[in-house]
Amino acid sequence: MKKCDILVPIFTPFKKDQTVDYEALKKLVRYVLDKGADGLYTTGSSAETFLLTEEERMKTLEVAAKEANGATVVAHVGTPGTALAVMYAKHAKSMGVDAVASVPPFYYSHGHKAIKKYYTDIADACGLKIMIYNIPGATGVDMSVDQINDLLSDDRIYSIKYTAADYYVLNRIAVASKKPIYSGKDEAFASALMAGATGAIGTTMNIYPQAFVQIKAAFDKKDIASAQKLQTKLNNIIQPMIESGATIQAMKYVSKLAGIDCGEARKPFKNLTAEDKKKLEQAVRDNAF
């Protein structure tokens, strides 16, 4: 795969009746690529993928991959079980994606050997490289440094998305493996780069991909002060998103403020209050990119 630092975990836009808005999805893909993103990460948490039907999940990938027009596409195929993940991975390959990604199998408890087999079974079934994903806050599976490095030692696994707060662990992964490490913590991208991350996959990129491009460029030039300043500016917008208690809903609202209407998050995400919206509007006004 070509070098790819900024992958946008693309939203799934919805219409007022909560059906998928595929035309809005096309516009969003064009928007983030025009703003400097290297490619797309489809059908992940930011896409509300576990609130989609199988048909919707596959069609959103199809639409996004086609609209990407040659840009890098990594398709998230994670599910609690191997069979369905393999089905999604084979479908992703038929769409010409560059790689597939997956959270570890969740809900049921599995040991490391079973998790590794899950990943290698997907790789063997579809013939694509795998991005593993450590997001313990969502899956309840917190892989250790040794477990992650064991997975990354397999040639079928080419990278990791790391969405956890322990940057000592991230650094130990970076030291042991030269494979790409994507930070999933939007609010700490600059810190992740200092710990050894090579890129990012973050929900806020749907609105401000250019912010991540700028942070990475500043870091690459060893201009740490500028990277931190940009991160702080981004975090001034992220803070009221988190405080709303419905982060994806808040991000979609800010997306609308930026002129990219992706509708509202799918139920059962709660609605924003008038006060939530007021705080978001003020943050956007005060921290323009």
What residues are annotated to the active site?
133, 161
From residue 212, alpha-carbon distances to 11, 198, 287 in Å are 17, 12, 14
Q: What are the C-alpha distances in Å from 222 to residues 8, 17, 227, 247?
A: 24, 48, 9, 31
Residues in the chain: 289
Residues near 118 by beta carbon (within 8 Å), at least 6 away in sequence: 82, 85, 102, 104, 105, 110
Would you call 149 exposed, middle or buried from its count of C-beta atoms within 10 A (0-12, 13-18, 19+)?
Answer: middle
Half-sphere exposure of 26 (CA within 13 A, CB side): 9
Instruction: Estimate to the nearest angstrom the gap between the alpha carbon of 57 and the chain centroid.
Output: 15
Helix (H, G, I), strand (E, B) or coil at 11: coil
